[in-house]
A and B are shown apart, each in its own frame.
Chain A
Amino acid sequence: MNADQSIDCVGLYCPMPIVKTAQKMKELEPGQVLEVIADDKGIKTDMPAWAEKTGNEFLGIEEEGGEIKVYVRKK
């Protein structure tokens, strides 16, 4: 999936991937897509929950080996 910006959260655990996502999203324009690369499995359920709560659009997950890429679109 194509993204406008990407952040690397590999090796980070809760709450850091979500906190970093929230911080990075502030820099994006509405409609732009953020890619979050992580390896803590919690992000697979945490990111949809974060998106639902904040009104951003959760676009999906891509998994490769131990690497999890999640995509969210800024509202």
Chain B
Amino acid sequence: MPDDNVTIVVFSGELDKALAAFNIANTAAAMGMNVSMFFTFWGLGVIKKGGIERGGKSFMQWMMGLMDRGGASHLKLSKMNMMGAGTRTMKSLMKKYRMPSLEEQIKLAKDQGVHFIACTTSMALMGLEEGDFIDEVDELAGAATYLGLASEGKVNLFI
């Protein structure tokens, strides 16, 4: 169905917000909907490998990448991070309640056919290249691609 698209703009690069985005993405995919996640700005951190190599980055871009390394396993909570103690506590609580980690949710989303799109403008701004992202990323695109998908969907979220 053409109007059965679900689009999620993942703008934030924090663990809790990324979990919320993937929770909805995975549920929508399980409901048979066509799900696209558009990673932009800080959201690119969610799909970064988390490496610290300079690559083609300018000095400023490299420094920015070092201060906010990204990678699903390195993300912090948006509240109560407490130098990482809060994030560690949240992760251990999630494990205790058998909730899937962000890394597991990313893999699950891919297995369920969720489409991963990285925003090329944000990539240029941050000096990121395709090789800086995890293999799950399907496409590099801009806002027109997002809007094309969103205009054929009733569920369009910005997280």
Q: Which residues of A contact B (CB under 8 A)?
A: 11-16, 18-19, 21-23, 49-50, 53-54
Contact = CB atoms under 8 A, between A and B. Distances in A.
Contact of B98 (A11, A22, A23): A11
Nearest to B25: A15
Nearest to B100: A16
Contacts, number: 40
A22 B30 contact: yes
Interface of B: 23-24, 26-27, 29-33, 97-100, 108, 112
Nearest to A40: B97
A13 B30 contact: no
Closest 6 CB pairs of A and B: A22-B30, A15-B27, A53-B31, A19-B30, A15-B26, A18-B30
A11, A16, A22, A50: residue with the most chain B Cβ atoms closer than 10 Å:
A16
